[in-house]
Amino acid sequence: MSSSPPPPSNPARPIVCKFGGTSLAGAEQMRRVRDIVAADPARRVVVPSAPGKRTPDDRKITDLLYLCHDAAEQGLSFNEAFGVIADRFRGLVSDLGLNLDLDPLLDAARRGIADAAHAGRGPDYAASRGEALNGRVLAALLGCRCLDAADVIRFDAAGRLDADVTHDALTSALKRVDRAVIPGFYGSDPDGHIRTFSRGGSDVTGAVVARAVNASVYENWTDVSGLLTTDPRIVDNPAVIDSLTYRELRELSYSGATVLHAEAVFPVRAAGIPVNIRNTNAPDHPGTRIVATENAAPTAYPITGIAGRKDFTVISLEKDLMNEAVGYVERVLAVFSRAGVSVEHVPSGIDTLSVVVADAELAGKRDVLLEELRRTIAPDHLEIDPDLALIATVGRNMKTQPGMAATLFGALAKAGVNIRMIDQGSGELNIIVGVNAGDYETAVRAIYTAFIG
């Protein structure tokens, strides 16, 4: 794989860059961010997270803010946790040598946390202050304006992003400034109260902003050089995925790989804006590009990546002449739906139907579900097999290349792994195999060796 930086961007269209918490954890990291932003004049809109951990046993500012809210809600003092937060921000400002007085903002945050808790408004205001304060610090460092996300990122009364109002607010605010910082993670609702996305939600802010300014690329800067082809806890030093499609990302993230907040893909995907995952600590590395299928270059390896999850159970039903009974599958699935159990896969045979569900889905519902299946379906045989792991081998190339399944199954056979289930979606974007949970790591390593090296 090449390690040359990506081609210079189109200056007419801005780049939106979002920096995660570890990229902004301390003064040294912040200076790296300043240099990255300065290296390309098209990097005109910057979306920061709150400061993250500087060392593995450090605390994230956002976690401390949630603690402040919890204490305030119980009528307890939150001075200690807030003191840690205030010291951290003051330290950052002085280490960076900035002429910025954060005290009025810190005081306002402290009062706001108490007021929101007192009014029973939940933790959103408290949680948002890490980004709000960090945005001011970063804007001072970059020498540009910090827009308040409460003015430009808008939620509806139910706490969902109001995409249209947000789009209009962002476009008109950004028309008036050439370069800006917009803090991630929060916005405001129609009553003017602060709302946040779910954890990790600065990714979503970045995506929404990228769409509003029609960015040439949405750069998401983190502490790894892109999405890895598989879990580094299983395979040593796995290769980085150079490019993948939005759909492949969805398949891989669904099966366990994490890199972006799930909701961050939709705004940029709808606008055809590529996402580039980059490493603040290795800014010359091109990272991973996430693009629309039609713009995807050939992959470096025959597959794009391997992801998986343990903790599934298979419920198998057998009934004579099942294949001739009209509506049988629907009746079986209706039992799962009435029990509120979401289903992952439904592989079937002539007279058998297996339903794969995540163990977490079955918790507390298992007995009622099985009872209902026996009563309404009256199967000849009903079997429950726990301890299934699912492994998704994902790749847009699989569609056109014969022999992929043979390589996959051959690798598993050679590694002595018994395959309990096979499922290939009709898009031929992935092959999912179910194996015993105890074979999970061996299977992932065997597939990695067969396709990637």
Instruction: Specify whether the CB–CB gap between 357 and 406 falls below 8 A.
Output: no
Exposure letters 230-244 (e unless 16+ CB within 10 A, then b): bbeebbeebbbbbbb
Q: How far is the CB of 209 from ligand ASP (least distance, A)?
A: 13
Q: How far is the CB of 21 from ligand ASP (least distance, A)?
A: 5
Of the pair 62, 255, the CB lying nearest ligand ASP is at 62
Q: How far apart are CA 67 and CA 64, in angstroms?
A: 5
Which ranges in 15-78 belong to alpha helices (H)? 27-39, 61-73
Q: How far is the CB of 134 from ligand ASP (least distance, A)?
A: 9
E strand spans, 337-411: 352-358, 381-394
Of the pair 136, 247, the CB lying nearest ligand ASP is at 136
Q: How far apart are CA 165 and CA 228, in angstroms?
A: 36
Nearest to 212 by CA among 45, 12, 43, 18: 45
Of the pair 63, 359, the CB lying nearest ligand ASP is at 63
- Per the listing, tokens 């699935």 go with 333
Instruction: Specify whether the CB–CB gap between 444 and 306 falls below 8 A.
Output: yes
Of the pair 21, 379, the CB lying nearest ligand ASP is at 21
For 359, how many CA atoms within 13 A lie in the half-sphere containing its CB?
A: 11
Residues that bind ligand ASP in the complex, under the rule CB under 6 A:
21, 49-50, 60, 62, 130, 184-185, 199-203
Of the pair 25, 228, the CB lying nearest ligand ASP is at 25
Q: How far is the CB of 99 from ligand ASP (least distance, A)?
A: 26
Task: Residue 428: count other Cβ atoms within 10 Å of its Cβ.
Answer: 16
Q: How far is the CB of 445 from ligand ASP (least distance, A)?
A: 32
Of the pair 21, 238, the CB lying nearest ligand ASP is at 21
Crossing angle of helices 61-73 and 124-142, rounded to 10°: 150
Residues, the chain = 453
Of the pair 211, 445, the CB lying nearest ligand ASP is at 211
Asked whether the CA dihedral 27, 29, 34, 38 is positive or negative, the reply is positive
Strand partners, 124: none
Q: How far is the CB of 146 from ligand ASP (least distance, A)?
A: 16
Q: How far is the CB of 253 from ligand ASP (least distance, A)?
A: 16
